[in-house]
Structure 1
Amino acid sequence: MKKIIILSGHGHYATGLQSSIELLAGKNEDMFFVDFTVEDTDVTLKEKMLKVIDENKESEVLFVCDILGGTPFKTAAEIANSNDKMEVVAGCNVGSVIESIFQKDTMTIGELAESIVDASKQSTMKFNKVVISEVLDYLDTEDGI
């Protein structure tokens, strides 16, 4: 079954990430970007989400929202709560969204939701400072890219 991903968040979060995702992974006909702007209410946000779903009736849906508990998350959760073909995640990063684009056809919608959360956790880290001479020594031994 076809799967679509609806990315939604506060302000221009969704369309902002759209530019990054399309730069890194190209355009994808199964990705939809729904902003929750100052002009929107929870009702208009729900209408925008339902329009995407209505245009993709036979598809399973993964909602990817910016903040756990925010209006986009609550709206997506309300829509998905009674539908086994829909899942909702929050707090994911660009890398995990791109990974989900390429994996979506090999997993169930539930597995895809778990995978995007796991990928976000694994790719979030703190940079550990090193002595610059160690880095330069390492770079001298490698051919590079």
Structure 2
Amino acid sequence: MKTNIVIAGHGNYGTGVESSIKLLAGHNEGVEFIDFLEEDTDVTLKDKIINALVNNKADKNLFVCDILGGTPFKVCVELSYEKENMEVVAGCNIGAILEAILLKDSMGIAELADSVVNATKDTAVRFIKVNTTNSTYNDNSSMDDGI
């Protein structure tokens, strides 16, 4: 069964996430990125999302929204009541969204929704600095690797 993921949010959230996902994992089929722009209304946003669903016919759909309770979230919740096999999540981070995209066709839609929320919870951390006043800093150390 094919799963489609629709990522929607305020401003250029959708296309911003798209840019990050493409950098990390290249282009992925069955993923749509929707922006809710200043000139949009809930009606025009709903039209954008419906068009994305029509263009990517799938048995299951996961909506990933930027914030709980915002217009994109409310529109996706409304659409999820219209058909079976649709789930809505909000507030998930890029790492969790990427994981959901890569796993989307390997699990049920409810399990996928739970997975993206749990991955966000598991990867949200605070870096705690260690007291470095007595340590030696090596200027020759290389941090060229990035991640």
Do they fold alike, i.e. is TM over 0.5?
yes
Residue by residue over 1:22-78, the C-alpha shift from the partner in whole angstroms, topping out at 9 and shown as x without a partner, is 000111011100000001000000000001111233431100000000000000000
Aligned with 1:67: secondary structure?
coil
| Equivalent in the alignment of 1:68 | 68
| Equivalent in the alignment of 1:15 | 15
Closer, same or farther in 2 for the Cα pair 1:83/1:25, shift >3 Å?
Answer: same
| Equivalent in the alignment of 1:84 | 84
Gaps of 5+ in 2: none
Aligned with 2:83: secondary structure?
coil
Letter in 1 for 2:30: D
TM score, norm. by length of structure 2: 0.88
| Equivalent in the alignment of 1:111 | 111
| Equivalent in the alignment of 1:49 | 49
Once the two structures are TM-superposed, the CA of residue 81 in structure 1 deviates from its matched residue by: 1.7
Count of residue pairs the alignment pairs up: 140
Gaps of 5+ in 1: none
Give the Cα separation in 2 of the matches to 1:61 and 1:112: 10
RMSD: 2.1
Give the Cα separation in 2 of the matches to 1:58 and 1:124: 30
Once the two structures are TM-superposed, the CA of residue 119 in structure 1 deviates from its matched residue by: 0.2
Give the Cα separation in 1 of the matches to 2:33 and 2:10: 12
Closer, same or farther in 2 for the Cα pair 1:58/1:16, shift >3 Å?
Answer: closer
Once the two structures are TM-superposed, the CA of residue 84 in structure 1 deviates from its matched residue by: 2.0
Q: Which moved more, 1:63-72 or 1:77-86?
A: 77-86
1:35 and 2:20 matched:
no
Give the Cα separation in 1 of the matches to 2:27 and 2:135: 40
Give the Cα separation in 2 of the matches to 1:58 and 1:29: 11
Letter in 2 for 1:37: L
Aligned with 2:35: secondary structure?
strand
Give the Cα separation in 2 of the matches to 1:60 and 1:45: 20
Tell me, yes or no, if the aligned pair for 2:30 and 2:56 is still in contact at 8 Å: no
Give the Cα separation in 2 of the matches to 1:34 and 1:18: 9
Closer, same or farther in 2 for the Cα pair 1:61/1:130, shift >3 Å?
Answer: same
